[in-house]
Structure 1
Amino acid sequence: MKLEQDWLKNKPAVIPTGGIITIPNGKAWYAYLLKRWTSASATPDEIYQFGLSEVARVQKHIEAIRQQTGLNEDDFYKHLNDPSFFIIDPKLVQQAFENTKEVIYANMPKLFSNTNIAPLKIVKGENRQLAQTPGYYDNNAFYYNLFDKPYNKRQVDWLFMHEGVPGHHYQAGTEAQTKTSAVQQLFYYMGFAEGWAAYTEELGKQLGVYKMPYDELGKWEWDIVRSVRVPLDVALNYYGWTDEQALAFWRKNIRGQDDIAMREIARMRRWPAQVVTYKYGALQILHWKEELQQKQGAQFNIRDFHSRVLDHGSLPLFMVKENVFKKVKLFIL
């Protein structure tokens, strides 16, 4: 409220277009937005360091897959553009997603107690305004974008999990079955929603997909983008980096995806702090799971863990954590 009051007192005659850092109290606004989007009290400096650590972690996963292939680095990245990785026929793209859906649905009971959710449609996206995203979810439908380009097979598995099941669609379906208050329904917590969807991509092998190293690589190829965006978001909107500095950082840490670099940099300037939610939320959930696995050992139940994360509807992450670690009361009759 103080930031709002200061804005009303000192509102510029013309709103700057150079990003949030160029407005009055820009750095304070960014620090606030980080808390708003992540529903956590992390500072910009902490989030920057967190992002660097995630970049390093994901790069190790990519390198491990490269070593599995036996290719040197140059040949590996050259091979990723091989025609065998791309689907030309739109009907085959649809079929690929349908196949992934069938496999994942068959394996859901291994990881989730509730498998009775609303049917999910798989639809080819027609909205060119959303063409810059690989896909999206809306109202019981998963839309994949395919506009005049061969489709990369490596993004089929992770994208379906993120937008469909057990990602956004499963989360929405679970929430629809949850009794929530009218007040709670007024709020939406991006750190929880995008964090959950990004977390589910880690479950691919348990859900029967990521059968080949290159299938799993697709998940890490997009994860390195998400990871690099975290420190870049802070650098652009809090440290005051130029687009040129941001592009140099991108190229230093991501190989073979220059085509989307400026698009993502522009997105971070337009929507400060939002891109942080994917990685920050996903890592909180992953760390909770690891902590419970260590504490409970053989007693750890993955289905119970996922229920504890989802069964209270959309909440800020600190409240989700309370539900995850809440002790189960035993009643003896």
Structure 2
Amino acid sequence: MHKSLARTALWAALALSFASNTALAAPPAPPAGKVSGVVSAQAKKQLDALALEYYEAVARFDPVNATDRGDNRFDDQIGMSIGPKERARQNARYNVFLNRLHALDRRALDLRSQTNYDVLEFELNSLLSFANLPELMLPLNQMDSIPVTIANYASGDGAQPLKTVKDYKAYLNRLTQLPAWIDQAIANMREGMRVGVTLPRATVVSMLPQYQKLISAKADESIYYTPIRKMPASFSARDKAALTAGYRKAIDAKLAPALVRLASFIEKDYLPAARTSTGWSALPEGKEWYEKNVAIQTTTSLTPEQIHAIGLKEVARIQGEYGVVGPKMGYTGPAAGLPAWVSQQEKYKPFKTDQEVIDVYRKLDALLRTKLPALFTLMPKAPLDLRLEPELSRATASDHYTAPAMDGSRPGVFWSVVNDPKQYGSTGMVTLFLHEGQPGHHFHIALLQELDLPKFRQFSGNTAYTEGWALYAETLGKEMGLFDKPEDYFGHLNDEMLRAVRLVVDTGMHAKGWTREQSIQYMRDTLGFPESMARSETERYMVWPGQALGYKIGALKITELRRRAEAALGDKFSLPKFHEIVLEDGTLPLSLLEVKVNRWIEKNQ
């Protein structure tokens, strides 16, 4: 998945998905005195100014998310987006922005600006739709939180650069702010305990070791001290001494005690109070809360029940494909049992070291560079790098992609998660890289930064488009001859099955009363997952309700639009041009993407 930072239940949705949870509304009537239908440079100028103000407000409100998105101007700030008073002030800002937007005459804008207007309206409506829900009471989980994110930045290999003295001071400033964030998180979680808004107990058990690992007896043993251990030799002796003293003081005096407080609170207070239920519907206002997440993540009006049915249908279709590819791999049992059989075959676990895994991805990357120009005329200029996931987050992380820096100082990165190379399966590597690397997330996310778009659109997105494009990109492996080996095609089908299963288990747990154990068993039966993998996947969906739905819903829509274009245009259809149409205007809600593709079809028929 595209790894964007998510601080709370809401921000887990909105950092990955800034799309409306309502159908496209008709544009508002123009204010009195304005001439409608005439393109106005002044109207565009006003919209551009408003969009920039909105982006600045979002970046300053959540500066760590800005860092992760490639905007490094606020690398010395953490922000307090989980503070109730600050969140209320931010919602008031959003209301002002929305009122100012509606004061503009949308019909006086050119087509590109109308799209910017629509996306901005979607984002603001989405943010405000959560204003009265208790998501602040869930500020961290086993998938992401500020303390773990800042710890992962300590290597200097992530989104926050650590190359200059200024960089080191910026990171140090964040360390001094982290204790206040931790104390606010504890206060929020105590309020959640009081009113019955807590994480499920199983996910708290999973996250506790992360926070315990952050504790160290001395500063120089702390992961947050890593920058000092890797300090460039080019720094002056004076800078080295000052930075070393500053890091020691920040960690020993304030940060270390705060981390002890957090781990102790989670273990002794929060874990005993955590709920035993599984789904979001068990929470106060949980049904409405989940439905809003579903709408945001899919950018559709599909109900959880409809999505559950789509998932079951897709599972059955893919199992039919298993029945074809299985015998080619030497499997003669029932189609549904193919994933479990593959997982037991030692020939598909050929690795002994982490390096062997990353070497296969590098070889695949080189091959793709020779094949992609035939399918794409629009490609990002930013390079793509391949790296192993840091050890701290490896146990709970999924393979993911991070965006390049806007200034070109950092490439896009495909992060491979290898916990035990001897258990790393080879069958899914091709399809995984097509999704997380190129032409999946890299062709979309890196390209976003190179398009002539307002900043808020370069740095935001929605799951249905972002993950839908990446899942669609996996299917291009067949056209490039990358699935000629039956085991590689199985790997593609199995990853597609995962996305179909997610539709079933996410809606099952959060809307239909499924238990955690039901989800784990369903994933083991349909995907052949070992218990540990089915458990970690299930627990991801438990704390990120709805997030896993966007993948399949988005991919199905993009595939549907391609088939529609192929049927309508016949010999005039160009696959590189279709890809250009999908990518050239950045991330869009699915409804806007459909309008755009339909317009292209009508123009070229």
Relative to the length of structure 1, the TM-score reads 0.90
Q: Which moved more, 1:268-277 or 1:168-177?
A: 168-177
Letter of the 1:283 partner, please give it.
Answer: L
Structure-2 residue corresponding to 1:286:
559
Letter in 1 for 2:526: N
The match for 2:426 is 153
Change (3 A) 1:213 1:6: closer
1:45–1:116 distance in 2 versus 1, CA, 3 Å: closer
**CA distance in 2 between partners of 1:101 and 1:282 (Å):** 23
| Between 149-158 and 69-78, the greater mean CA deviation after superposition | 69-78
**Aligned partners of 1:318 and 1:274: how far apart in 2?**
18
Q: Retained in 1: the 8 A contact 2:467–2:554?
A: yes
Aligned pairs for 1:32-51 (under 5 A) are 32-51=292-311
* 8 A Cα contact 1:16 1:22, kept in partner: no
Distance in structure 2 (CA, Å) of the matches to 1:15 and 1:322: 40
The equivalent residue for 2:7 is none
The Cα shift of 1:315 comes to 1.6
- 1:96 to 2:369 alignment: no
The structure-2 alpha-carbon separation of the partners of 1:146 and 1:248, relative to structure 1 and needing over 3 Å to count, comes to closer
Please name the residue that 2:457 is paired with.
Answer: 184
State the shift of 1:67 in Å: 2.7
What is the SS of the residue equivalent to 1:211? Answer: coil
Alignment of 1:1-333 (within 5 A): 4-5=131-132, 13-17=195-199, 18=277, 19-73=279-333, 77-78=340-341, 80-86=343-349, 87-138=351-402, 139=404, 140-150=412-422, 151-185=424-458, 187-327=460-600
Which AA in structure 1 matches 2:553?
Y
Check 1:79–1:143 CA distance in 2 against 1; reply closer, same or farther (3 A cut): closer
Deviation digits for residues 123-159 of structure 1, max 9, x if unmatched? 1222431444452111311111122332322122111
Q: 1:292 to 1:263 in 2, by over 3 A?
A: same
Distance 1:182 1:264 in 2: 33
Instruction: Report % sequence identity.
Output: 26
- 8 Å contact from structure 1 (residues 20, 237) kept in 2: yes
**C-alpha distance in 1 between matches for 2:455 and 2:434:** 29
How far is 1:111 from its partner? 0.9
Cα drift, residue 90 of structure 1: 3.0
SS in structure 1 opposite 2:415? Answer: strand
TM-aligned CA distance change 1:13 to 1:144, over 3 Å: same
> Structure 1 CA distance, aligned partners of 2:333 and 2:304?
34
Question: How far is the alpha carbon of 1:328 from its aligned partner?
Answer: 6.9
For the residues of structure 2 that align with 1:224 and 1:79, how far apart are their CA atoms? Answer: 14
Q: Quick check: 2:394–2:419 contact (8 Å CA) kept in 1?
A: no
CA contact (8 A) 1:235 1:241 kept: yes
CA distance in 1, matches of 2:129, 2:532: 40
Structure 1 residue 330 displacement after superposition: 7.4
Q: CA deviation at 1:45?
A: 1.1
2:523–2:529: 8 Å Cα contact kept in structure 1?
no
Q: Secondary structure of the residue that 2:387 maps to in structure 1?
A: strand
Letter in 2 for 1:270: V
In 1, the alpha carbon distance for the partners of 2:500 and 2:442 equals 24
Shift of 1:223: 2.1
The total of aligned residue pairs comes to 330
Larger displacement relative to structure 2 (103-112 or 220-229): 220-229
Report which stretch shifted further, 177-186 or 262-271. 177-186
Task: Name structure 2 gaps, 5 residues minimum.
Answer: 1-127, 136-191, 200-276, 405-411
User: 2:465–2:589: 8 Å Cα contact kept in structure 1?
Assistant: yes
Q: What is the Cα deviation at residue 264 of structure 1?
A: 1.7
- Residue 541 of structure 2 aligns with an amino acid whose one-letter code is M
Q: CA deviation at 1:192?
A: 0.6
Distance 1:164 1:212 in 2: 20
Unaligned runs of 5+ in 1: none
Q: Is the 8 A contact 1:281 1:317 kept in 2?
A: yes
**Structure showing greater relative contact order (alpha-carbon pairs closer than 8 Å, 6 or more residues apart):** 1
| Contact 1:193–1:314 (CA under 8 A) maintained in structure 2 | yes
